[in-house]
Structure 1
C-alpha cells in the first residue's frame, strides 16, 4: 500500500509540472548532466559551411571541429584536428599533420581524404555533392575554384597528412581555417543526406546531434566515443529559443534554463546582485552598424549617406541602450584591433550639417524611408526595436520620415543578403580576429553577391577592393596596417554604412555552471562546461 501511495504521488507530481511532458525541465530533473542554453533566435541551418551567422555556429561549434581553433580567451590559433603544421619558404604550401584514430559520429574515419573532400566541396562549384552558396569560403579565400580562389589545390599526402597549395601567400590563411564555417563534415553523411545535410549534421565534435525543433530547441547529446576521452562533461546540451529578453531572464531565475545570452543591459545591475547568478562579458569583437543600400536611391548619393552619418547620435545610443557596455566606433573594426585607423575624423553628431548635406543632395525636405530591423536580440544590439526608434527620432529631426519594418531573424537575413532593404540595423561579429574578416567580408565588392551578400551595402569601390586583396597577401603586419588604414579612410569618406557601437555582451548563467567562457567570436566550445544539479 505504501509503495502504491508513493507511485500515485509521483504521478501527480509529474502531471502538475507547468512545463509540457517533453520539456527541458523534465530533462533537468534526471540524473543526467543537462545544460539548457537560452538564446533569442533559432539556427539558420545545421551546415556550418553554408552559414554566416552566430545562431547556427553556436550549435555547430559543438558538433563539428576544424583543423585549428582559437584559445578560449583569445583568437590565438592552436591545434585541433591537426596536430601541427608547416609552411614552405615561399609561403604558398601549407602541410598539416592530422590527429589519428578519430571517427565521425557515423563511425567513419576522419582522415586526409575527408579534409580534401570538404574543401573541394566548398571551393569547386562543379562538385557533385555541393549544396549551398558557401559564401564564407568565397569571402575568406577570394572566390571559388577558377574564379580567384586563393587555394589552388588540396591534396592528401597520406592518410594523416594534408597539403594546401595557395596561388600566393595569404596572411590570413591559418586564422581562417579556425573559423566556425570550416568545420569538417563526414563525407559519407553528405553523400547519404544530400542537401538535407543541413538538418542532419555529422561531425567529430564532443556532442552528437539528436533533434531540432525549429524555433524551439536543438538537442545535442554526449559523444561517448569522443577522441578527447575525458570530455565532454555534460550528457546533454539543449539550445532553447526564448525570443523575449525579459522572458529569457525569468526562465533563468526560475531554473528553467542555465545560461542566457542577450540580457537587456538595463537588467545587469539586478543580475549582478543576485547571489544565484553570475555574469561573464564577451569580449567586444563586433560592430553594430546601419547598412545603407548603395544601389537604391537616395543612398546611391554619397551626400545623403554622409548626412545620415551626421544625424545619428552614437554616444546617445551607447549610453541609452548599453549602460556602459558599448562604445561608439567610427570604422568597421573594433577600436582595439591592430588594424583600426584612429586618425580618422568622426562624423560629428551635427543636425545642421546633416540638413545642409541633404539639401546639397537634392533633398531639402528630406524623404521617406523604410528601415528594416530584426525583432531578435543580437550580440551587438540586445534591444533592436528600441535602438531603431532612437535612430528614427534622430532622422526625423532632419526631415526623413522613417517606417520601421521588423522581421524575425531568418527572414531579416534573407532580406539583407538579397539587398531588398533600403536601410537596416545589423552587425558583424569577428570570426578570427583579423581585420580582413571585418573589412573584406563586409566591404569588398567581391562579397556584394545577391543572395549571399556579406557586403549588404552593395558597396562597389574598386580601389578599396584592390587594397583589401593586397592586404590579404601582404605578410608583414605593419605593412598590412598601413593598407588597412588607407582603405578605412576611403570607406569613411564614401560612408557606405554607419558604424555605431562595439559591445561587451553580458552572458548570464546560474552559479551552478562552471568552466563556461563566452568567446569573442560569438560561439564557444562547451565540452569543458559542467553543471551542478
Structure 2
C-alpha cells in the first residue's frame, strides 16, 4: 500500500523548498444522464446507531451514512486505499508540512430533502463548520447538541489541528501544530464527512440540533429518505451528484437482517441483491448457486480480545499473559472461521506496511498458563465478564461461539467467565465507557496507515475511545507519536516495529485472527467491489 500516494501520476514531497501544489481534476461539474430506474436491496447486518459519521466508529454506521449520504475533502478510491480528490479538487502543502490548503470544487449541491432545501452550493463555510463543531466545544452548534467524536480524539487530531480558516469561498486552510504523516489519509476517513452549515443553522434556529444525527444532509450519491430501526433504511439516487454517472440506482434499500443464515436465504430467493458477512458454513451453498457471484479477498482486519487493564486483576501483565496462553486459538480459527481465517499474532494484519513478521505469539499451553496465574497470586483463578458481540463483523463471524470456546479454555485454569452481550449500539457504547472486563471486538483498517492500528487501538489518546483495553503505556505511546511526526517511511517502520515488540510483551489484547472477506451478490449486480476498508459502497454499482 502507498498511504502517501496522492496521485496516480504524480508524487509530492511535503518538505520541498517551496509550497507544493497538487492539481487534481477540474472545477467543471457536468451533468450525468438520468438515473436508471433500478432498485437494489442490500441485506445489512445491523441497525446504525445514527447518521452523523463523526460520532461513530463501526462499519454498520459508516455503510449507512458515510458512503451513501456524504463526501469528504479527499476520498479513498473505490476498492482501494489510494487517496483521490473529493470535495477538494486540489491541495497545497507548505514547505514545513504544517499547513494544508484545500481548493474546493465548484458547483457541488447539497441534497434537497423533505426537511431541508438548500439555497446555496457547497463552499468553505461548510468545511469550517464541520471541523469547528468537532474541535471547539464552545461553538454554537456543539453547545446546542453536545456529542462525542471518537475518531478525531483517538487519532489526536483535536490536538494536532491548530485552526481551520476560510481563505475565500472556495479555499480552506488547515494549520497543524506538528507534522503529521498520515494527515491526508485521515482526512479521507468517515469522521471528516462534510456537513451543511446552512442545514445546521436551520436546525439550530428550530431548536432541533440533534436531528443532524437522525435526518442527514450531505453531497453524496444517495439521499436519505427514511429509517425504521431493525427493519429498513431507504435512499434515493441523487440526481444532482457531482460525479457524473456514478449514481446508477434510483432506489437503494437496506433490509436490516441480523441473522446471517436469513440473509443468505433472502439472497437466494432474490429478496436482496447484495448481502454482507455470510456464515462460513454457508459459503459452499453460495458458491454452488448458479444465480450468485461470490467474490472474496484477504481481509484488512483483525479480530481480538481486549483486556480492560483498569479492572483488577487485568492490570497485571502476568494475568494477561496467562489468559492469552490459555486460549486455544488454532481451535477457534478452525471452528469459528471454518477455513476463512488466519491466526493473528500482531495488532495489525500482515498486509499492513511495517508489520513485524518476526513477532512470535505464545503457544497454547494451559499448564504454563495456570502456573503463571499462580505466580501472579491467583492459584485458584478468579471471575470476570467476557463480552461477545451480537452481530457478525468482517473480523469475527461468530462472536458467541468464540466466547464460549474461550470460556471453556479459561475454566481449565480456574478462571470463570460470565458471557455478556447487548444490542450492537449499546454494546459499543458500554465498551467505550469501559464497563467490560474482557471484550471481543476487532478492527478493519480505515486508511492504510499503521497509525490507524497502533494509535487508534492502543494509543493513550484513544483510551476513552477505541482503545478498549484502556491501556496507556508511555514507552509504546512515545513511539506512536514519533511515527506520526516524520514522513520518512523507513523511520516510521522502525518505530512501529519497536511498538509491536512492546505490544507483544505487554499484551493489552490477545490477537485472534484475520478473516477472509466474502461479498455475495446476485448475478444481475454490476461492479460491486470489495472495499479493503470494510464497508459496502454503492456509488458506481449498477444492475442489469
Separation in structure 2 between the aligned mates of residue 336 and residue 518 of structure 1, nearest angstrom: 16
2:55 maps to which residue? 50
322-331 vs 469-478, greater mean Cα deviation? 322-331
- State the SS of the aligned residue for 1:382: coil
- State the SS of the aligned residue for 1:517: coil
Q: How many residues align?
A: 494
1:65 maps to which residue? 71
2:291 maps to which residue? 276
Q: Are the aligned partners of 1:58 and 1:522 in contact in 2 as well (CA < 8 Å)?
A: no
Q: What per-residue deviation string (whole Å, max 9, x for no partner) do you get for residues 140-174 of structure 1?
A: 2x153xxxx11111122222221111112110000
1:155 maps to which residue? 165
The alpha-carbon deviation at position 192 of structure 1 amounts to 2.5
1:191 maps to which residue? 201
Give the TM-score, by structure 2 length. 0.89
Q: Are the aligned partners of 1:57 and 1:181 in contact in 2 as well (CA < 8 Å)?
A: no
- State the SS of the aligned residue for 1:374: coil
Separation in structure 2 between the aligned mates of residue 113 and residue 125 of structure 1, nearest angstrom: 18
Q: What per-residue deviation string (whole Å, max 9, x for no partner) do you get for residues 95-124 of structure 1?
A: 112111101114332112211111111111
- Indicate the RMSD between aligned Cα atoms, in angstroms: 1.4
1:93 maps to which residue? 99
274-283 vs 375-384, greater mean Cα deviation? 274-283
Mapping of residues 41-440 of structure 1, within 5 Å: 41-60=46-65, 61-105=67-111, 106-107=117-118, 108-130=120-142, 131-140=146-155, 142-144=156-158, 149-193=159-203, 194-281=209-296, 283-440=298-455
Separation in structure 2 between the aligned mates of residue 479 and residue 403 of structure 1, nearest angstrom: 44
Asked if 1:529 is matched to 2:519, the reply is: no
The alpha-carbon deviation at position 324 of structure 1 amounts to 2.5
331-340 vs 416-425, greater mean Cα deviation? 331-340
Separation in structure 2 between the aligned mates of residue 502 and residue 488 of structure 1, nearest angstrom: 17
Separation in structure 2 between the aligned mates of residue 248 and residue 143 of structure 1, nearest angstrom: 38
Q: Are the aligned partners of 1:282 and 1:519 in contact in 2 as well (CA < 8 Å)?
A: no
Q: Which runs of 4+ in 1 moved over 6 A?
A: none
1:21 maps to which residue? none
The alpha-carbon deviation at position 47 of structure 1 amounts to 0.2
Separation in structure 2 between the aligned mates of residue 94 and residue 352 of structure 1, nearest angstrom: 56
Asked if 1:497 is matched to 2:502, the reply is: no
Separation in structure 1 between the aligned mates of residue 285 and residue 42 of structure 2, nearest angstrom: 20
2:483 maps to which residue? 471
Any unmatched runs of 5+ in structure 2?
Answer: 1-35, 112-116, 204-208
Separation in structure 1 between the aligned mates of residue 51 and residue 384 of structure 2, nearest angstrom: 35
Separation in structure 2 between the aligned mates of residue 336 and residue 120 of structure 1, nearest angstrom: 35
Q: What per-residue deviation string (whole Å, max 9, x for no partner) do you get for residues 405-430 of structure 1?
A: 22221111112111000111111111
